[in-house]
Amino acid sequence: MEGRLLLLFTAGATALLIGISVTLYAAVLHYMEGRADVSLEAQIDDAHSDLSEVDGVQDVISELADADAGETEFWLRVLDKNGKTLAQSHGMDERLPASLFAGPQRAEVRGRDYTVGDGTWMSLTSEAVTANGVEYTIQVAEDRHADRDFLRELRWILGGLIAAGVLYSAWMARMVTRRGLRPLKAMEKAVERVRATQLGTRLGKQDWPRELVPLATAFDDMMDRLEESFNRLSQFSADLAHELRTPIANLRGEAEVALSRGRTAEEYRHVIESSMEEYARLTSMAEKLLFLARADADEAEVKPEEIDGRAAIDALWEFYEPYADERGVHLKCHGSGQVMADAVLLRRAVANLIENALRFTPPGKEVNVEVAPGGIIRVTDAGSGIAPEHLPRLFDRFYQVDPARREAGAGLGLALVKSIMQLHGGSVAITSEPGRGTEATLRFPS
């Protein structure tokens, strides 16, 4: 990244310097061309004025003879209307023949560039004039070797400035990019320190440039989620191993006892029946874990539709009424309302709540299921209630208020209910007071 920034910065500065230099050179050249045209026009005007005198041609010849005595930048020739030379600068025939000049100009004077055999840069022009009723053609040339020398020197100066500017911009780009990328290097080192055992790394936002604060904040938020997920995964793995160890140990212990000596058919039957209970527990645990895994991966299928909430609850009565009667608990349902939910998942969520309520409600008490308008279902029991310190963790997987009560299940029921509600975009809440029972409320989106 540092190399690319250095290259881009230097390339941009180089393009800018070249653009400025080319523009400056073009402006100077344009100025010189304009100055040369003005000078040529001035020479033509002077010659025209001389020709307008009584002895015009002789005056021009005298002036050209005087000019030959010294050094001059201009060359002048006067022709009659037939093209015969009447007057010209000394040596002009050999250096600048009349045929080199373009036809006489009637409009604005503009010089034409020409390079003499010795490399001298000349500007040539001609103009038709009338003086004292006589037509003449005036040809003027300007020696511009001084302009050419100046432009050559200007090109060297601009080239040197571009080269120095490129080197300076490259040095500045290196300094700026190093300084600018220093915070990113620090971030890189901080990220490299992240390990499974070092998820507490945080960048903070007080020491970073303003532009990097959102990145640092996003990284810290990601690390918070990652640390939480990793801790939950670690806890989940430990809990799963613990939960699986108990039924597996029971199965192995019963099998070892059964094989330790000969048994009657009835004793073997008892071992198999006991094993079947453990198998059922393992199967139920596996199904719940599979559902939770699919829900976490957004693979669980949800087909919400508007259904009769009371009818969905009544469908569970056939299964749970015998279980309630066996435990001496009165199971009641009241209210009505439409619920936008997947019928199968709705019954599964309510079934888990009813099962928990029946399990912890003492004989002679009631478990009430209420269906209310707005997609609300409440399950209320008259059990011993739950202490406040346990409420925040009720929906954690494998969490049990009383771990010693293994018959209460594996602690996956409420976690499954929460996942079902999240799949629907709804919520579940539990309120409880010790000694006064517990109320679980499902809120489906309307």
Ordered by where they begin, the domains of the chain are 2-151 (3.30.450), 210-296 (1.10.287), 305-443 (3.30.565.10)
Assign 3-class secondary structure to the chain.
Answer: CHHHHHHHHHHHHHHHHHHHHHHHHHHHHHHHHHHHHHHHHHHHHHHHHHHCCCCHHHHHHHHHHHHHCCCCCEEEEEEECCCCEEEECCCHHHHCCHHHCCCCECCCCCCEEEECCCCCEEEEEEEEEEECCEEEEEEEEEECHHHHHHHHHHHHHHHHHHHHHHHHHHHHHHHHHHHHHHHHHHHHHHHHCCCCCCCCCCCCCCCCCHHHHHHHHHHHHHHHHHHHHHHHHHHHHHHHHHHHHHHHHHHHHHHHHHHHCCCCHHHHHHHHHHHHHHHHHHHHHHHHHHHHHHHHCCCCCCCCEEEEHHHHHHHHHHHHHHHHHHHCCEEEEEECCEEEECHHHHHHHHHHHHHHHHHHCCCCCEEEEEEECCCEEEEEECCCCCCHHHHHHCCCCCCCCCCCCHHHCCCCHHHHHHHHHHHHCCEEEEEEECCCEEEEEEECCC
The percentage of the chain sitting over the pLDDT mark of 90, rounded to a whole number, equals 7
pLDDT in tens, 184-241: 777 777 777 777 666 777 777 667 777 777 777 887 788 887 777 777 666 666 666 6
Which pLDDT band, with edges at 50, 70 and 90, does 69 fall under?
very low
pLDDT at 241: 67
pLDDT at 239: 61
Which pLDDT band, with edges at 50, 70 and 90, does 70 fall under?
very low
pLDDT in tens, 154-178: 999 999 999 998 898 888 888 877 7
